[in-house]
Structure 1
Amino acid sequence: MTNRRPVNCWLTDMDGVLVHEEHAIPGAAEFLQQLQERQLRFLVLTNNSIYTPRDLRARLLASGIDVPEEAIWTSAMATAQFLDEQRPNGSAYVLGEAGLTTALHDVGYIMTSRDPDYVVLGETRTYSFEAITRAIRLIEGGARFIATNPDATGPSTEGSLPATGAIAALITKATGVEPYYVGKPNPLMMRSALNRIDAHSETTVMIGDRIDTDIVSGLEAGLRTILVLSGSTRPEQVERHPFVPTRVVESIADVVPLVGQLAPKTDQPEADPA
């Protein structure tokens, strides 16, 4: 990993890498401090579309991790950016929370249940039968189907919770229409994150705890990848995949010394953004 170009930028997943059930994972604060002290560009990524960046910053701060609001990139924000590029000033029927509706409002989208351009599905803890039925009928009527991410379940202290992918499967079963997923593992989310911080894939590393989303999306976007075993992926699962991360470590604490080892020399110019 050290015999390639220096690393100017870092992308990291949030849950399972920096925090676990709203508690900071040892080494997370030190990792972020290293990035800030060395003035390296970075983004914290999450497929969770429930919260706005301001909400997430407050939640991370409560865990003892200080991440600037502008350094947080969610699947809701990536979805809003994608829709703005596809159909500017469009309309959408949204099943989701403030993180998604705020992102769509910010790009000029109108929320409506009357002949929308899109049905946009995000994560929420309050899915209703009425809202899902409405989404099904709108899709049957011609609305395009978009979902923020394909994660079927999410974590909680009591066990797994149904997430966006599970509800999307229900709607697909009823309509026969598959959604377009914007979040990880779609490399589109990686590319949008790279563009947000003017980063180049050859000089950026992606850190994640899920080999089937974080690592594969980083790989497909041309990034070096680090899998941490502090979250969803177990050690015995790594070899079952047809691809491997650039590096596998126990936790984010093991990445802290790598920041200095991989950082560019002070007299070495950064690569031009792509």
Structure 2
Amino acid sequence: MTQYKGYLIDLDGTIYLGEDRIEAGTRFVKRLQEKNIPHLFVTNNTTKTPAQVQERLQEKFGIMTSEETIYTATLATLEYMDDMAKGETAYVIGESGLKSAIYGSYQRDTENPAYVVVGLDNDLTYEKLTLATLAIAKGAMFIGTNPDLNIPTERGLLPGAGSINKLLEVATRVKPIFIGKPNAIIMNKAVERIGIARRDLLMVGDNYLTDIRAGIDNDIDTLLVTTGFTKAEEVPNLPIAPTHVVASLDDWEI
């Protein structure tokens, strides 16, 4: 079996399921730490800052890690906006993790922003959608933080940021530029951040459409764990097989 030099690891559905700990996920991370194997948590979740994710991992799931090991779609979005240099204003649909990052660098503008950035928003309103729709119609660059249609939780599959973006796409007839997994934008930046060649990395996740396609589409080996979104019975019919599949991360030999 290939000995990977570094790991890119999803969180939701892989390390935890909503508020519930996936015990094998915690043990998996601790094994990586014990062997000093570099790893980066790559998450499409934009509701929390890296510092808040770090605190949650520690307090809720018993994982002690540094803030530098957490790379969110928010960070990738901000870096992309900086690269584009389209303007200095933005309108954001999202929660504190996304808003604090974007509005920390870009001025909030509800009328004629350079960017409209859309992530998960648990307090979504029709007025927020209206402001975004009108701004996109005026020419704002439409950025979706991630395409996840659903979020795996202890309650079941809930609407994700991709569902909100899909509504705005229909309303504006403009396709968003997606940043998060499986897109190349976040993966290129994650590879750059961890500093390990793609051939030596393994992308670990529970969602074939995002985590596993992120690896497949970006030349990185993949490990699908069937603890979240993609179920074991779906594996035989997947269009392109993951490099590896396990029922539990306890089954993976590091």
Same fold (TM over 0.5): yes
Deviation track 1:211-245 (CA, whole Å, cap 9, x = no partner) reads 11111111121111111011111112112222011
* More moved, 110-119 vs 144-153: 110-119
Shift of 1:160: 3.3
Match of 1:147 in 2: 144
Match of 2:72 in 1: 74
Match of 2:93 in 1: 95
Q: Give % identity.
A: 38
How far apart, in 2, do the equivalents of 1:223 and 1:125 lie? 33
Deviation track 1:46-92 (CA, whole Å, cap 9, x = no partner) reads 11111111111122222222232111111111111111111176321
Q: How does 1:216-231 map to 2 (within 5 A)?
A: 216-231=213-228
Assess if the C-alpha contact under 8 Å between 2:5 and 2:38 holds in 1: yes
Assess if the C-alpha contact under 8 Å between 2:13 and 2:152 holds in 1: no
Aligned counterpart for 2:63 among listed residues 62, 65, 73: 65
Corresponding position: 1:237 with 2:203: no
Cα distance change, pair 56–252 in 1 and its aligned pair in 2 (3 A): same
Cα distance change, pair 7–157 in 1 and its aligned pair in 2 (3 A): closer
Cα distance change, pair 230–156 in 1 and its aligned pair in 2 (3 A): closer
Deviation track 1:180-238 (CA, whole Å, cap 9, x = no partner) reads 11101113211111111212101111101011111111112111111101111111211
Corresponding position: 1:161 with 2:129: no
Unaligned runs of 5+ in 2: none
Q: How does 1:103-182 map to 2 (within 5 A)?
A: 103-105=101-103, 108-182=105-179
Q: How does 1:5-20 map to 2 (within 5 A)?
A: 6-20=3-17
Code of the aligned partner of 2:46: S
Normalised to the residue count of structure 1, the TM-score between the two structures is: 0.87
* More moved, 23-32 vs 235-244: 23-32
How far apart, in 2, do the equivalents of 1:58 and 1:10 lie? 21
How far apart, in 2, do the equivalents of 1:161 and 1:181 lie? 20
Code of the aligned partner of 1:227: L
Assess if the C-alpha contact under 8 Å between 2:18 and 2:153 holds in 1: yes
* More moved, 27-36 vs 242-251: 27-36
How far apart, in 1, do the equivalents of 2:115 and 2:161 lie? 16
How far apart, in 2, do the equivalents of 1:95 and 1:214 lie? 23
Assess if the C-alpha contact under 8 Å between 2:17 and 2:152 holds in 1: no
How far apart, in 1, do the equivalents of 2:18 and 2:117 lie? 27
Q: How many aligned positions are there?
A: 253
How far apart, in 2, do the equivalents of 1:232 and 1:81 lie? 28
Unaligned runs of 5+ in 1: 260-274
Aligned counterpart for 2:35 among listed residues 34, 38, 50: 38
Assess if the C-alpha contact under 8 Å between 2:86 and 2:114 holds in 1: no
Code of the aligned partner of 1:74: T
Code of the aligned partner of 1:221: N
Match of 1:27 in 2: 24
Runs of 4+ displaced beyond 3 Å = 155-160
Cα distance change, pair 90–183 in 1 and its aligned pair in 2 (3 A): same
Match of 1:263 in 2: none
SS of 2:64's equivalent in the other structure is: coil
